[in-house]
Structure 1
């Protein structure tokens, strides 16, 4: 399942693809779609947000333009250079940090801090006063400081 079609990718590239490049482009679209599902969520193909398709096409086109991940190339002394900017992703289909953040937001994943209310098992809340059970068999421990201000 790919979130974008091969013809859409061809429209983003400025050259005609040969047979090998068509095969590679199909794989790039599939890889980018798999990454989009991993970073976002597994959207059904026909209901995926348009931005997911855009990001998949962007990633696949980036790969097709530079499949080896070169950052510098010279013909005179045959110098080739790769960048560590993308680390293990250089020369493969990848999403940038900003693209990953967009996919996470589209999937409803919000990064950051959150709080969760926690109460002990067996806690009995009464108006103005609550207690927490204790392991040593003694009287329950007061949950709030006093009745005037529960915190």
Structure 2
């Protein structure tokens, strides 16, 4: 499954891919599509949104241009360097933080805040007050749960 084609990727590159580079590019497109689905959601391949296709192409072309993740290279003394900026992702298909944010929001996985009701172990509602106590301000009483052994 890939959200973009090899032809679309070739259109973003400055050179014609040889056979080995095409094989690597196809793998990069599949890896980027898998990552996009994991960060966003599994869109149907034929109807993937244009933004998803664009981000997959960006990640795949980034990898095809620099599959080893080099940040510096010298021919004379054979100096090679890798950046710590992408950590374990250097030399692999990856999305930047901004691209991940776009995919998660576009896929409907935007982080949200929620709450869950919590009660103490073996607590029960007090039948005389129904578990409600005054809140200390005008309005509805606050639900408070307690054990039969405690003062509340």
Short-chain TM bin: 0.7 to 0.9
What are the within-5 Å matches in structure 2 for residues 14-25 of structure 1? 14-25=14-25
Q: CA offset at residue 111 of structure 1?
A: 1.7
- 1:97-129 deviation digits (Å, cap 9, x = unpaired): 00000000011112243345x387xxxxxxxxx
Aligned to 1:145: 134
Mapped to 2, the partners of 1:82 and 1:69 lie a distance apart of 6
Kindly indicate whether the alpha-carbon contact (under 8 Å) linking 1:144 and 1:150 is maintained by their aligned counterparts in 2: no
TM-score (norm 1): 0.82
Matched ranges for 1:1-151 at <5 A? 1-115=1-115, 118=117, 133-134=125-126, 139-145=128-134, 149-151=139-141
1:129 is matched with none
* TM-score normalised by the chain length of structure 2: 0.81
Which runs of no fewer than 5 residues in structure 1 stay unpaired? 121-131
Count residues in correspondence. Answer: 135
Contact 1:33 1:56 in 2 (8 A): yes
Aligned Cα root-mean-square deviation (Å): 2.0
Q: Greater strand share, 1 or 2? A: 1
- Tell me by how many angstroms 1:46 deviates: 1.7
